[in-house]
A = this chain, B = another copy of it.
Amino acid sequence: MARKFTENKLVIASHNPGKVREISALLAPFEVEVISAGALGLPEPEETGMTFLENAEMKARASAAGANLPALADDSGLVAPALNGAPGIYSARWAGPDKNFDRAMDRVKKELGAGDPAAHFTAALALAWPDGHVERFEGKVHGRLAWPKRGDQGFGYDPIFIPDGYDITFGEMDPGHKHTISHRANAFKQLINACF
């Protein structure tokens, strides 16, 4: 049985204003005041985990301890089983410091070659309390990789990912619709059902 969130303030363990806004909107029905770790002057911990869940947990714990408030963190990426899970937790890093996902997508194409294009996006969420308790959730959306890149919606690897049951990429999908089927949506659904 997951611990319920009964507080009225929640730190989002992120310095990305877009992410903080998005999470804020998702939690609006629960009357939670959302504060970003950046606004509190908390440092961004290094992502040294082995899995998405470990990374999310590390970030959530660091913010909960630093702010003495419950904190929510996420970590996500693209997973290609034919590439032994790559790019995985390093999905963002493969785009380089200039966040060049065009290059990262080309690299995935080169490495995959004629390999199985099955892939999924994974999103991990961790909600940590200052007393050390943590709840963790992982959402996925399965699909396949396809080239050429298609669409200018979304971000990251979206232009090469076609979710199962569709014939368009995440890059071509209306963001409002993507948000109903995405890995992140799935993880948030689990979090909300369990803790809110």
Contact = CB atoms under 8 A, between A and B. Distances in A.
Interface stretch (A1-9, A77-85, A127-135, A163-171): A77-85
Nearest to A85: B85
A139 interface: no
Interface in A65-83: 77, 79, 81, 83
Contact of A88 (B54, B86, B107): B86
B84 A89 contact: yes
Contacts of A51: 83-84, 86, 111
One complex includes copies of this chain to the number of 2
A90 interface: yes
Most buried by B among A54, A84, A94: A84
A50 B90 CA distance: 8
A145 interface: no
Contacts of A50: 83, 86-87, 90, 94, 107-108, 111
A73 to B, nearest CB: 16
A53 interface: yes
A122 to B, nearest CB: 5
Most B CB contacts (10 A, CB to CB) among A86, A89, A122 go to: A86
Nearest to A110: B54
A52 interface: yes
A79 B50 CA distance: 11
B85 A79 contact: yes
Given A50-B107, A50-B111, A54-B111, A84 B79 contact: yes
Contacts of A122: 84
Contacts of A77: 84
8 contacts: A50-B86, A50-B108, A79-B84, A79-B85, A83-B85, A84-B89, A84-B122, A85-B86
